[in-house]
């Protein structure tokens, strides 16, 4: 279920004045339009919302932080942004000030029902550039309005990686993005081969994009404050490796390699290949030493291995 969008106005169109609580000087006034700590708590109280750990809800209460996220994400007046887990709208409002269009995907019934009203109250001149999709982001297959060009989100910690990978796979029009995730997850997503934290998230994200750490976020900008630090991860879409194997086939090799990451690839890939000997044959054909471990391979290496499944030894 989603709000009915209308075609986005041209990026230079008049945005009109903000009329929400504490506003009245227009979207350019920044803090008056964006949500502060008192606004977030007031909205939550009015809606009867209590952030839940089950859905990883930690609402951003600092206007400077959401401005920083939008700036670091390089959101332009031409961008069509998809946001996952908008919550009460802290980041949504900042995105609407810069982008041509914003589509927010929210699973929570109460939050999804309230967000369009918050947008209309605080940025009435931009409300026609906004669409709300009330759905589980892991199951979203299409979005209203123009195709998204950017993904910007404060992702729930408990589902950050699968949501990110799903969105990148489902919407190839996404050219760049910035996500805020648990610091440990940010490190894993941006890790390079050979790193102790390099693993499945690192490799699979690299299939879609160039990934890098883009900063740290303190705990005090959230309500409630989480027990862990957060990190920003920047993504720039790249072409996947040139291979005759499908993405699913490549990811099956990745999963097998890291399921037993302490083992050599010859042993770790035995189940995937059918036997240790078959794994060795595929690895050798791909130019990979069977004695190495998955943590040393690039996404291109995994693609080469997948392509050579079924190779027989000479």
Binding-site sequence positions for S-adenosyl-L-methionine: 58, 60, 85, 106, 136, 154
CA dist 240 and 247 (Å) reads 9
Q: What residues form the annotated binding site? A: 58, 60, 85, 106, 136, 154
Query: Which residue, 255, 180, 167, 176, is CA-closest to 210?
Result: 176
Residue 244: burial class (beta carbons within 10 Å; 0-12, 13-18, 19+): exposed
Query: Which residue, 207, 217, 208, is CA-closest to 185?
Result: 217
CA dist 43 and 101 (Å) reads 24
Give me the long-range contacts of 246-249 (CB less than 8 A, separation at least 24): 247/169, 247/207, 249/306, 249/309
For CA atoms 35, 38, 43, 48, the dihedral sign is positive
**Residue-by-residue DSSP string for 42-71:** HHHHHHT----TTTT--EE--HHHHHHHHH
């Amino acid at each position: 279920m989603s709000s009915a969008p209308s075609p986005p106005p041209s990026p230079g169109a008049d945005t009109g004045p903000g009329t929400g609580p504490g506003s009245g000087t227009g979207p350019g006034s920044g803090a008056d339009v964006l949500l502060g700590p008192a606004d977030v708590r007031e909205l939550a109280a009015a809606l009867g919302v209590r952030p839940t750990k089950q859905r990883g809800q930690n609402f951003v209460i600092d206007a400077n932080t959401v401005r920083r996220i939008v700036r670091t994400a390089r959101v332009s007046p031409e961008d069509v942004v998809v946001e996952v887990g908008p919550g009460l709208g802290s980041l949504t409002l900042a995105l609407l000030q810069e982008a041509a269009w914003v589509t927010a995907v929210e699973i929570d019934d109460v939050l999804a029902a309230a967000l369009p009203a918050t947008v209309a109250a605080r940025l009435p001149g931009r409300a026609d550039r906004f669409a709300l999709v009330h759905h589980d982001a892991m199951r979203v297959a299409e979005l209203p309005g123009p195709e998204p060009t950017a993904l910007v989100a404060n992702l729930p910690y408990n589902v950050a990686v699968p949501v990110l990978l799903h969105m990148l796979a489902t919407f190839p029009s996404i050219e760049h993005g910035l996500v805020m995730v648990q610091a440990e997850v940010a490190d894993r997503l941006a890790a390079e081969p050979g790193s102790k934290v390099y693993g499945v998230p690192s490799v699979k994200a690299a299939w879609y994009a160039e990934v890098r750490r883009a900063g740290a976020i303190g705990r005090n900008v959230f309500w409630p404050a989480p027990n862990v630090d957060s990190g920003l991860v920047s993504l720039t879409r790249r072409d996947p490796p040139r291979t005759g194997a499908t993405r699913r086939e490549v990811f099956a090799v990745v999963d097998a390699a890291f399921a037993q990451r302490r083992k050599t690839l010859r042993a770790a890939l035995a189940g995937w290949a059918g036997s240790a000997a078959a794994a060795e044959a595929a690895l050798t054909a791909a130019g990979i030493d069977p004695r190495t471990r998955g943590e040393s391979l690039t996404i291109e290496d995994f693609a080469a291995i997948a392509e050579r499944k079924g190779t027989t030894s000479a």
